[in-house]
């Protein structure tokens, strides 16, 4: 995800639908001629966070499709082929947003719609073979969504369906090297790290499985797939993939994060050593300015002059590793590096200025919503007022870039950095209104001392 493609290459949605990655795109610069203001009518800054989320839910409702088994949603309401069951673009992410909105408001209608969406996800798990397995691309994301639906509804049907999906994941793990793997991919999006994080997460609810053992075996396989460097370890997205993307979604930061999370569960020092080796490699290649920022390039060999600022390939995602290491080691060095990631963003000029690594995208994966979530979490952790001030600038930017009419609130954006002319309003979690509105829900929770109920498997910020 998150590196954008030329018109001759498949779109990210096609890659995710097929369980693959689009991150090999050729780097090009966002044309300065695109003006998002021509496509949007801003929302009042006085609208409450909950009301923004409600309005986004009304607009998402316009993309709902009834099926024999439940409901699903078009990822792009203008594209009748955009229905999907990935957490990244599809119905599992919309279900999670509706569950969060139910927890925030207590309004049963949101839970009922989420359950109907979960019913359709159950039918896919029961009736379709050879599904992609990844957290953001397939079964793992569906299992997480079903588990959260069970936790909200206490309906055992969703427990049983999530357990069925978990059994699919456990059965699909094959012996490889000194451990197990689901495919040749190592990453958080579609590979072993994301699937393993899902096992750790859902095993807390779905009791009596060998999920932790399989997750550990997958971690040992990932350790031996790391490439030694003079400073530590780095991981390719897969062994035969030509570009190495060191940040969170497809690279070293995400794999190292998984190893640290599993160390927290098992206490195995070999997993911590490998995670620390990945972190040391990232430190060795980071731009640190005067020692107060952390920026890691997009990819090698040909993207070392491109710096994203978001979850996928930027400091928002990479800081997750540093924060997790601070938690598991109790070493303040790692929290300092998480703060350095935040300070790099503070110095970037966003959200008012846009850069090649922060283009006309406002979603959780690549844009404003993901950045806002990060600063909300960092403010909660540190109490640094500069972080709170910045996240409210992000909030204002999102409201300026929104479109509101009688159908609700939506956000027009260019998902693909190298295709800025492809502007659409989307419904999904990582790209679209569900994830953007979730930022507003989580901001409301922070400001009102309420716990954020739905926390994705790859997030260390449980508050």
86-96: average pLDDT: 98
Q: What is the pLDDT of residue 420?
A: 76
Q: What is the pLDDT of residue 41?
A: 65
Is a pLDDT exceeding 50 seen at residue 442?
yes
Q: What is the pLDDT of residue 18?
A: 43
Is a pLDDT exceeding 90 seen at residue 416?
no
What mean pLDDT, rounded, does the chain reach? 91
Give every CB contact of residue 100 below 8 A, 6+ residues apart in sequence.
438, 441, 442, 452, 453, 454
Q: What is the pLDDT of residue 205?
A: 94
Q: What is the pLDDT of residue 39?
A: 46
Is a pLDDT exceeding 80 seen at residue 221?
yes
444-461: average pLDDT: 94
Q: What is the pLDDT of residue 355?
A: 87
What is the per-residue pLDDT across 5-30, written as a single tens digit (0 to 9) for each? 323 333 444 444 443 332 322 222 22
Confidence bin at 463 (pLDDT 50/70/90): low
Is a pLDDT exceeding 50 seen at residue 73?
yes
What is the per-residue pLDDT across 361-392, written as a single tens digit (0 to 9) for each? 999 999 999 999 999 999 999 999 999 999 99
What is the per-residue pLDDT across 186-208, written as a single tens digit (0 to 9) for each? 999 999 999 999 999 999 999 87
Is a pLDDT exceeding 80 seen at residue 272?
yes
Is a pLDDT exceeding 60 seen at residue 277?
yes
Q: Which of 11-15, 139-143, 219-223 bottoms out in mean pLDDT, i.e. has the lowest?
A: 11-15
Q: Which of 34-43, 62-71, 294-303 bottoms out in mean pLDDT, i.e. has the lowest?
A: 34-43
328-352: average pLDDT: 97
Percentage, residues of the chain above pLDDT 90: 85
């Amino acid at each position: 995800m998150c590196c954008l493609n030329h018109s001759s290459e498949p779109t990210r949605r096609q890659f995710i639908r097929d369980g693959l990655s689009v991150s090999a795109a050729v780097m090009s610069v966002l044309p300065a001629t695109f003006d998002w203001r021509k496509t949007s009518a801003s929302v009042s800054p006085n609208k409450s966070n909950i009301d923004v989320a409600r309005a986004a839910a009304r607009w998402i409702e316009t993309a709902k499709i009834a099926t024999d088994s439940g409901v699903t949603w078009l990822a792009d309401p203008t594209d009748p082929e955009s229905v999907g069951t990935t957490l990244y673009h599809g119905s599992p992410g919309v279900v999670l947003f509706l569950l969060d909105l139910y927890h925030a408001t207590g309004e049963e209608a949101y839970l009922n719609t989420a359950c109907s969406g979960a019913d359709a996800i159950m039918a896919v798990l029961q009736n379709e073979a050879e599904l992609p397995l990844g957290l953001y691309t397939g079964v793992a994301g569906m299992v997480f969504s079903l588990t959260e639906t069970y936790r909200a509804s206490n309906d055992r049907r969703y427990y049983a369906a999530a357990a069925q999906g978990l059994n699919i994941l456990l059965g699909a793990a094959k012996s490889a090297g000194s451990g197990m793997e689901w495919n040749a991919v190592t990453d958080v999006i579609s590979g072993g790290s994301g699937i393993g994080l899902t096992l750790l997460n859902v095993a807390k609810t779905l009791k009596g499985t060998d999920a932790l053992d399989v997750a550990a075996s997958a971690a040992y396989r990932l350790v031996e797939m790391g490439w030694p460097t003079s400073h530590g370890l780095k991981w390719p997205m897969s062994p035969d993939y030509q570009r190495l993307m060191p940040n969170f979604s497809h690279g070293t930061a995400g794999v190292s994060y998984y190893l640290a999370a599993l160390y927290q569960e098992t206490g195995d020092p070999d997993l911590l050593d490998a995670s620390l080796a990945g972190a040391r490699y990232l430190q060795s290649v980071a731009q640190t300015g005067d020692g107060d920022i952390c920026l890691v390039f997009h990819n090698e060999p040909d993207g070392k002059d491109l710096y994203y600022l978001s979850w996928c390939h930027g400091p928002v995602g990479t800081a997750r590793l540093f924060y997790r290491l601070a938690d598991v080691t109790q070493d303040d060095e790692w929290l300092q590096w998480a703060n350095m990631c935040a300070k790099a963003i503070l110095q970037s000029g966003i959200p008012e200025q846009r850069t090649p690594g922060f283009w006309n995208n406002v979603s959780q994966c690549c844009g404003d919503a993901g950045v806002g979530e990060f600063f909300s979490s960092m403010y909660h952790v540190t109490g640094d007022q500069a972080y709170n001030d910045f996240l409210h600038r992000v909030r204002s930017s999102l409201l300026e870039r929104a479109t509101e009419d009688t159908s609700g609130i939506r956000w027009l954006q260019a998902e693909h950095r190298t295709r800025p002319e492809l502007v659409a309003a989307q419904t999904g979690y990582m790209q679209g209104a569900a994830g953007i509105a979730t930022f507003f829900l989580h901001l409301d929770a922070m400001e009102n001392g309420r716990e954020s109920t739905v926390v994705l498997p790859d997030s260390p910020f449980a508050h």
